[in-house]
């Protein structure tokens, strides 16, 4: 059954007539004494700005105002010292009028929201995302884009469905309404109505470390979304956790790509008897990121998963972990958006990874491991971008070691019991470059033939 358009209209104000009458969305008090009365009264605008958890002086700070409309928030941030960029998808004549009247230096860009990541703009200390979210069909993607543009705090204000009642059902799974046509406020570009809980959950899921409800009233809620953890505890009551390993949850490697849906797994040791997800304070390149999952592995070892924080720069990024009441432990690093550059790969030696014999690999029913030493692997070589083949068999890589003094890196790979006895060429491949074959003898039983030969 096609029910399009048959839903009841959603609450929410249709202010189009009042707005048309006034001609201005925002009100302004200009230095020459002129007062412009817009749909949003000055007292309300001043009150909204005053409750933003940003410094009163924004000297030296950068602000992005997304969906600026007449620009009151842009000009107010500039008045407080910020370097401001205002963005809107439509060019608003009123904005230019005020810009001229104030001799403003606010940079005004006519840009659709979804063009922001490719615009070359940012990052910004503070991002105002006020009254725009519900105009976008892809709210979580939108919040991720906002997060990636923010280094300190983003302010998200949105239409919500339960501003005055959200506490009554705050223990329920978050929900969001979807408006297929003009159900909300008679406007065709009103797409979504999250509950307060859903708005907060989406801000957290987008990648912000701390998310704080500023207000919820009538049909709107405001949220401060911080990219960093709260300051370190002055009197740390917990020992810092020992970060043992960090890897890509999917590939087990150290490489991450920001355009992919990727998660970070961390193994750590702590003297705490129990660790709750909300106690974990992971930081990558200075951005805090919340844990999605934590599980005890052994008595003192734990594993936790996190999403990759949006907005990481290409290169090596530092990862460190603390608990709510501890300082940070030692750090690891991950490779973000680093291409693989390989010129030449040379295998320098092969051993049986179990017996350590250099005379061949024994495949006798138990798990067989081949260890080899390779020259030429790039710094960001890992389990997911190095491939080894023994004859026709693709070997599963278990470990790629750090370079030794000669620049050789050890690779451990499992050899399946289905590999036939005999001599097979070992080829290592990375970044599209292959090594010359190294002959490896495989024996299926107790007798290990002495037949490793170098062909160079």
Ligand X SMILES: C[S@@+](CC[C@H](N)C(=O)[O-])C[C@H]1O[C@@H](n2cnc3c(N)ncnc32)[C@H](O)[C@@H]1O
| Residues engaged in binding ligand X (CB under 6 A) | 67-69, 88-90, 112-113, 130-132, 135
Q: Closer to ligand X at the Cβ: 80 or 421? A: 80
Q: Closer to ligand X at the Cβ: 94 or 380? A: 94
- Nearest approach, Cβ of residue 383 and ligand X (Å): 41
Q: Closer to ligand X at the Cβ: 163 or 303? A: 163
- Nearest approach, Cβ of residue 114 and ligand X (Å): 7
Contact 76, 86 (CB under 8 A): no
Q: Closer to ligand X at the Cβ: 69 or 126? A: 69
- Nearest approach, Cβ of residue 3 and ligand X (Å): 27
- Nearest approach, Cβ of residue 34 and ligand X (Å): 20
Q: Cα dist. 25→14, 40, 74, 220 in Å?
A: 13, 6, 14, 17
- Nearest approach, Cβ of residue 181 and ligand X (Å): 17
Q: Closer to ligand X at the Cβ: 75 or 113? A: 113
Q: Closer to ligand X at the Cβ: 38 or 240? A: 38
- Nearest approach, Cβ of residue 16 and ligand X (Å): 12
Q: Closer to ligand X at the Cβ: 114 or 387? A: 114
The 3-class secondary structure across the chain, one letter per residue, is: CCCCCCCCCECCCCCHHHHHHHCCCECEECCCCCEECCCECHHHHHHHHHCCCCCCCCCCCEEEEECCCCCHHHHHHHHCCCEEEEEECCCCHHHHHHHHHCCCCCEEEECCHHHHHHCCCCCEEEEEEECCHHHCCCHHHHHHHHHHHEEEEEEEEEECCCCCCHHHHCCCCCCEEECCCCCECCCCCCCEEECHHHHHHHHHHCCCCEEEEEEEECCEEEEEEECCCCCCCCCCCCCCCEEEEEEECCCCCCEECCCCCCEEEEEEECCCCCCCHHHEEEEECCEEECEEEEEECCCCEEEEEEECCCCCCCEEEEEEEEECCCCCCCCEEEEECCCCCCCCCEEEEEEECCCCCCCCEECCCCCEEEEEEEECCCCCCCCCCEEEEECCEEEEEEEECCCCCCCEEEEEEEECCCCCCEEEEEEEEECCEECCCEEEEEECCCCCCCCCCCCC
Q: Closer to ligand X at the Cβ: 52 or 321? A: 52
- Nearest approach, Cβ of residue 131 and ligand X (Å): 3
Nearest residue (beta carbon) to ligand X: 67
- Nearest approach, Cβ of residue 144 and ligand X (Å): 15
- Nearest approach, Cβ of residue 128 and ligand X (Å): 7
Q: Closer to ligand X at the Cβ: 25 or 229? A: 25
């Amino acid at each position: 059954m096609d029910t399009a358009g048959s839903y009841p209209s959603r609450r929410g104000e249709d202010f189009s007539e009042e707005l048309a009458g006034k001609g201005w969305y925002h009100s302004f008090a200009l230095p020459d004494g002129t007062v412009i009365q817009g749909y949003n009264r000055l007292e309300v605008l001043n009150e909204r700005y005053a409750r933003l958890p940003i410094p009163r002086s924004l000297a030296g700070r950068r602000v992005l105002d997304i969906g600026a409309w007449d620009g009151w928030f842009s000009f107010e941030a500039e008045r407080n010292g910020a370097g401001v960029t205002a963005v809107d998808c439509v060019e608003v004549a009123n904005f230019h009028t005020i810009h001229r009247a104030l001799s403003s230096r606010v940079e005004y860009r006519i840009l659709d929201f979804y063009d922001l990541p490719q615009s070359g703009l940012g990052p910004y200390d503070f991002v105002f995302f006020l009254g725009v979210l519900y105009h976008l069909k892809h709210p979580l993607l939108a919040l991720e884009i906002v997060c990636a543009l923010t280094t300190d705090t983003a302010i998200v204000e949105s239409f919500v469905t339960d501003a005055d009642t959200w506490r009554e059902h705050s223990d329920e799974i978050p929900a969001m309404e979807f408006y297929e046509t003009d159900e909300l406020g008679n406007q065709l570009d009103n797409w979504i109505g999250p509950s307060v809980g859903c708005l907060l959950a989406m801000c957290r899921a987008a990648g912000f470390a701390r998310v704080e409800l500023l207000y919820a009233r009538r049909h709107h809620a405001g949220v401060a979304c911080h990219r960093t953890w709260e300051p370190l505890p002055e009197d740390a009551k917990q020992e810092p956790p020992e970060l043992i390993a960090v890897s890509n949850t999917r590939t087990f490697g150290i490489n991450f790509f920001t355009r992919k849906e990727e998660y970070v797994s961390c193994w750590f040791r702590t003297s705490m008897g129990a660790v709750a997800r909300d106690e974990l304070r992971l930081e990558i390149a200075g951005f805090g990121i919340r844990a999605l999952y934590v599980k005890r592995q052994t008595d003192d070892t734990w594993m936790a998963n996190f999403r990759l924080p949006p907005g990481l720069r290409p290169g090596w990024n530092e990862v460190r972990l603390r608990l709510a009441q501890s300082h940070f432990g030692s750090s690891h690093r991950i490779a973000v958006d680093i291409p693989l550059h390989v010129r030449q790969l040379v295998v320098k030696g092969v051993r049986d990874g179990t017996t350590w014999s250099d005379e061949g690999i024994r495949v006798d029913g138990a798990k067989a491991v081949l260890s080899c030493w390779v020259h030429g692997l790039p710094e960001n070589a890992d389990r997911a971008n190095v491939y080894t083949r023994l004859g026709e068999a693709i070997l599963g890589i278990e470990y790629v070691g750090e370079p030794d003094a000669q620049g050789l890196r050890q690779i451990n790979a499992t050899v399946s019991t289905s590999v036939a006895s005999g001599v097979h060429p070992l080829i290592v491949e990375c970044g599209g470059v292959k090594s010359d074959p190294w002959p490896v003898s495989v024996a299926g039983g107790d007798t290990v033939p002495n037949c490793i030969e170098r062909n160079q």
